[in-house]
Structure 1
Amino acid sequence: MQEIARLAGLFAAHGIWGVSDGATLIPLLGYEQASGDRGMDRFAFDDVGAGAQAGQEALQTNQHDAIRAVLVVDGYLHLPGGRTDALIVEAVEYGPARRSFKMGVPYRPQPSPEGFAVHRPKFIEVVGIDRQDYPALTDAFFAGVDSHERAAPVWNAHLDPSI
C-alpha cells in the first residue's frame, strides 16, 4: 500500500505545483504499470467538471491496465472554518483485493492577500486499509511529495499546517 501512497504524493505535489500560480488544475490521472513505467493523462475539457468526470471514469475502468493509479482534481473541502479550496486525490491499487483512499489537500489559492499556502492533507475515505497503517501511509505520501523535484520545493515553501 505504500507504493500507492507514494504515487499519490507525487501526483498531488504535481497538482499543487500547477495551482500555485493561481491556475485551476486540469484534472490529471497518474498511473503505474507492472513494468514500473509511469504515465499521466490530463482531461482538458471546456468544463472542468466534465474533465473530472472523464478522469473518474478512467480511474474506475483502469484504461491503462495499471497496477495503481491516482486521480487529482481541483475542488473543495468543507472544514470547520468553512469551504476551502482543495485538491481531491483519489488513489486506487488494482487487483483482487482492491484498496483505495481519497484525501483532500487544502490550499489557499493565489491571488489572496495572505498568498498561496498548502495545508495538511485530510483523509476522506479509506477502503481496504487498516487504521493502524495510516501513519505509514502518510509517511509514504510525503515521500512521494518530496520525490517531485520541481513541486516539492513549492509545497514545502508554502506549507501552512494551521488547517
Structure 2
Amino acid sequence: MLAPMHETARLAGFFAAHGIWSVSDGTTLTPLLGYEHAGGDRGMDRFAFDDVGAGAQAGQEALQANRYDAVRAVLVVDGYLHLPTGRTDALIVDAVEYGPARRSFKMGVPYRPQPSPQGFAVHRPKFIEVVGVNRQDYPELADAFFAGVDAHERAAPVWNANLDPSI
C-alpha cells in the first residue's frame, strides 16, 4: 500500500476514536469532518443541524468537494450497520485520499450505546467499501487505522477499555 493511504487510514482511526469518545456517554454524534493538509496540519469541522441527517449530508458534500483543500479527509457520522446479529448502532467512517487517483474506504465501527444493561462497548470495525486499495493490503490499512485510534490520547483509553470483539 502506498504511504499516503496509510496516512489516510491513521487519520480515519484518529477521528473514529474521537467519535467513539463522543458517543460513549450516550449522546448522538454530531457529524464531524477531520482533514489534513500537505504540511501535516489538521482541522476538524462539525455539522450541527437540527436534523442529524441534514448534518451528515452537509458533511458528505464537504468531503466530496474537498472544501478545505486537504490532501486527505474523513467524515464520521452516527448510523447503523446491518450485521448477522441484527441492526447495530455504528459510526460510519468515510475516508478519502484526494489526488489525481482518488482512493477511499468506508468502515463501520459498531458500538453498543449507553444506556444499556451491558454498558457501552466498541466492536470490531468492518470494511464496507474500499476503492483503489488491493484486498491483500487491507490488514496494513487496518493496522494504520488502529495506530490512529491509539494516537488519540483521550479517546484511545475509552475505546480500549470498552472493546468487545464479539461482533
The TM tier, using the shorter chain, reads over 0.9
For structure 2, the 5+ residue unaligned runs are none
The answer for the alignment partner of 1:87 in structure 2 is 91
How well do the aligned residues superpose, as a CA RMSD in angstroms? 0.3
Separation in 1, partners of 2:165, 2:86? 16
Q: Deviations over 1:53-88 (max 9, x none)?
A: 000000000000000000000000000010000000
What is the deviation of 1:26?
Answer: 0.1
Separation in 2, partners of 1:41, 1:148? 17
Q: Which runs of 4+ in 1 moved over 4 A?
A: none
The answer for the alignment partner of 1:99 in structure 2 is 103
The answer for the alignment partner of 1:21 in structure 2 is 25
| Secondary structure, counterpart of 2:58 in structure 1 | helix
| TM-score (structure 2 length as normaliser) | 0.97
One-letter identity of the residue aligned with 2:80: Y
| TM-score (structure 1 length as normaliser) | 1.00
Report matched runs for 1:2-21 at 5 Å: 2-21=6-25
For structure 1, the 5+ residue unaligned runs are none
What is the deviation of 1:35?
Answer: 1.3
The answer for the alignment partner of 1:71 in structure 2 is 75
The answer for the alignment partner of 1:146 in structure 2 is 150
The answer for the alignment partner of 1:61 in structure 2 is 65
Q: Deviations over 1:119-142 (max 9, x none)?
A: 000000000000010010000000
The answer for the alignment partner of 1:35 in structure 2 is 39
